Structure 1
Amino acid sequence: MNPALRHRVEHVDTDAAGVMHFSRYASLAETAVLSFLHHNGTGLDLFQRHGTELAVTDLHIRYLAPARFRDVVLATTTLERATAATLRARADLARDTGEPLAVAKLVLCAVDTGTGRAVALPAQAARSLKGLTADD
């Protein structure tokens, strides 16, 4: 299941010219990935119950077109790969008309909440993610 995250660009998202600030794309991409995980049974609450959290360790964004004040941005997620401790995901951000705005690629790592060190994904998370990756 891959529901699109919907976000209306508000004043707080924009610069003085009414263009969405570049940093908001990263935030929307991460939110889209976390929403995808939640809708597929692997939300942050699951990680917290196991004493872990997800940390973004790598982020690349290709900007294609500017979003502007009051635009509706849809973000869809593809889980590209899941390893023992990491998730690699892609978030495609587009205007609700279908015009592509940006492509973000993120790597998230499971970390121990106490030490901040990388740990294996909780077993329940690994099971929930099986079959959801693009390379499955």
Structure 2
Amino acid sequence: MYTHEIQLRVRYADTDKMGFAYYGNYPRYYEIARVESFRSLGYPYKEMEESGVGMPVLDMSVKYLAPARYDDLLTIKLIIPEMPRARMRFLYEISNEEGKLINTGETILAFMNLETGRPVKMPDRMQKMLIPFFQDPA
């Protein structure tokens, strides 16, 4: 299993009239966590796209447990629970500064050839980076 955490602060522009983080921002928070996790692995998403591979979202679910508010510092934990193949499943847990879990989510993305729009397997470079996280410790 692979995990990565990032922190981000809820900006004023992210809030609605009630001062809560607008519900539509959570998929953006998920995307930020995905992009930063790839960067931390040493394979920035930009480089993957430059190699001709993209990752469209196929499915997404979001569960709102409690609101985030303006200026809250959020911790977004991204989890890749199984070794990807042609699709990659991500789980998300968002907690506030007090450590309270306020949101969970899941996305499924596919690897796609950007030129043809056809599915492809996970890039070899990414596979080599992820394998150590999914090997059984002996």
Q: Deviations over 1:4-61 (max 9, x none)?
A: 2211111110111111111111110121122112211332134124210111111111
Q: What TM-score comes out, normalization by structure 2 length?
A: 0.87
Give the unaligned 5+ runs of structure 2: none
User: After superposition, where does 1:1-136 map in structure 2 within 5 Å?
Assistant: 2-133=3-134
C-alpha distance in 1, partners of 2:58/2:39? 20
Which ranges of 4 or more aligned residues in structure 1 deviate by more than 6 Å? none
Give the unaligned 5+ runs of structure 1: none
How much has 1:94 moved relative to structure 2?
0.7
Sequence identity percentage: 23
C-alpha distance in 2, partners of 1:60/1:135? 29
Aligned residues: CA RMSD: 2.1
Q: Deviations over 1:61-95 (max 9, x none)?
A: 11110001111111011111233211111111110
* Paired residues of 2:3 and 2:80 also in contact (CA < 8 A): no
Secondary structure of 2:132's counterpart equals coil
Secondary structure of 1:17's counterpart equals coil
Q: What amino acid is the match of 1:85? A: A
